[in-house]
Amino acid sequence: MGSFWEEVKCQIKKTLPDHSYRMWIDPVELLEHDNHHIKLSSPNPYFIKRLKDNYLSIFKEEFSKIGINDINIEFKVSAKRKLASPGKNKKVSAYPAVPLSSKKLKQMHLPGLNVRFNSGRMFKKGFTFDDFVVGDNSNFAYSALLSLAQGKIKGSSILYLLAKTGLGKSHLSQAVGHYIITNNFSKRVYYITAEDFTNEMIFSLRNNTIAQFKEKYRKKCEVLILEDVQFLSGKDATQKELAMTLDYLLEADKKIIFSGCELPDDIPKLNDQLKSRLTLGLITEIDAPDYTTRVRILKKKSKVFGYDIPNQVTEYIAQELCDDVRQLESGLFGVAAKGQLMGYNIDIELAKSVLANITKAKKRITVESIKKMVCKEYSVSEKDIVSASRKKRIVKPRQMAIFLSRKYTDQPIKKIGTSFNKYHATAIYAINAIERELKQKSVLYKQVNYLSKKIETGKF
């Protein structure tokens, strides 16, 4: 029967997406069997529920194909897994540990509720691997993060997730934490943004608790998930502290997940010490979803929220809104809400009326559109602004355009520099030059406000 189970798993693997098989089927093992009864292992009760709800019928179908019919399949929680803390055999909850500052035991959080991990941010309930819609734009990122959560990436326990705003960085980052805790791999998962890390460090310095802060992140953290790394730009003290913290975690082979809108090399005012550590592991990226993936995302969201959206409306929304997932959600929710509140039929005409408010909100902001606006305002030609000229009347508009491109687009600095025929370092220098002048509240300060307002209102 043991060989039959392997054969069943092999057949199921051919019918399921690779990530679904690796997450839900591969960990299941055969415990006991007789002619009419099979007992399969599962890491926890939540896992069993997922198997029963989504895969039990598949198991029975595959067993019947090899001549095993009328079989009773039972799942049992297996206690084989070891905890991440070496040398300890204490039982660990699948849910968060008590905050380090407290000596009293607190009531456990119930499964399915948002939870807070040691002063960090809350995990969102739906931000799991199972709820993420995988497409060609995110397949590698999904597989890499799932493998890291499962401990299957050899030679590295650090990963940097790159993506523009609204494409799923937070979802996949938090999915790692959900998976590790749910499967009892670790009890100390710290999920925090770079801004929160900075604020917590400043608070510790002001209140003479920096020793506790260092101990928390360097010695008592088993999984660190740090979002929005670009926020560290220019924060020298935080960068040094984080670099030293990473040394401790890497030496202890702890898991580290970073996310950001830019590659470490493209983040200005980031010291070399931290850059080298951020790029030690695997770097993976989430791109904008293609049309097919956008349709699947919309159908998934409709199912989750109980919306009854006709296929042609779903396809229309996917066709018209292509920037990011948040924009898709906005369009879907708008169409569903207007149909429900106004009592209208959900059709293409209704979708057009809702999406018109989204698409007309502002012009698409690109490096090229900013370049044209700056040239017009400063009365210079586009040929001049991308030239090698060092005349002040050319340099200042060029620096302004680069600065605004950095502020209002998701393009990395290297690509922005290329758009002006300048090296990466020159683009960074231009941004820093504008920032220095802004601090002086000079005439340039008013110019930046004027141009920023034009961009934000779409009047450029």
For 259, list phi and psi in degrees, rounded to 5: -140, 150
The CATH class given to the 367-456 domain equals mainly alpha
What DSSP string runs through 197-237? HHHHHHHHHHTT-HHHHHHHHHHS-SEEEEE-GGGGTT-HH
The yes-or-no answer to whether 2-77 and 291-359 have a common fold is: no
User: What pLDDT does 121 receive?
Assistant: 67
User: What pLDDT does 409 receive?
Assistant: 83
Distance CA 430, CA 403 (A): 7
Distance CA 389, CA 116 (A): 54
Residue numbers in the chain where pLDDT is lower than 70: 1-2, 79-121, 155, 359-363
Domain assignments of the chain as residue spans, ordered by start: 2-77, 139-286, 291-359, 367-456
CATH number, span 291-359: 1.10.8.60
Q: Strands 223-227 and 255-260, how do they pair?
A: parallel
Angstrom distances, CA of residue 308 to CA of 106, 268, 372: 42, 46, 44
For 75, list phi and psi in degrees, rounded to 5: -115, 140
The two three-digit tokens of residue 336, written as one number: 């569903």
3-state secondary structure of 193: strand
Query: Please, what sign has the CA dihedral across residues 377, 379, 381, 386?
Result: negative
C-beta pairs of 307-312 under 8 Å, 24+ apart in sequence: 307/332, 307/336, 308/346, 309/335, 309/336, 309/346, 310/346, 310/347, 312/347, 312/348
**pTM of the full predicted structure?**
0.63
Angle subtended at Cα 413 by Cα 410 and Cα 416, rounded to the nearest 5 degrees: 80
How is the chain split among helix, strand and coil, in percent rounded to 5? 55, 10, 35
Over its C-alpha atoms, the chain yields an Rg (Å, rounded) of: 26
User: What pLDDT does 60 receive?
Assistant: 82
* CATH architecture assigned to 139-286: 3-Layer(aba) Sandwich (3.40)
User: What pLDDT does 79 receive?
Assistant: 56
Element (H, E) at 101: none
Element (H, E) at 267: none
* CATH architecture assigned to 2-77: 2-Layer Sandwich (3.30)
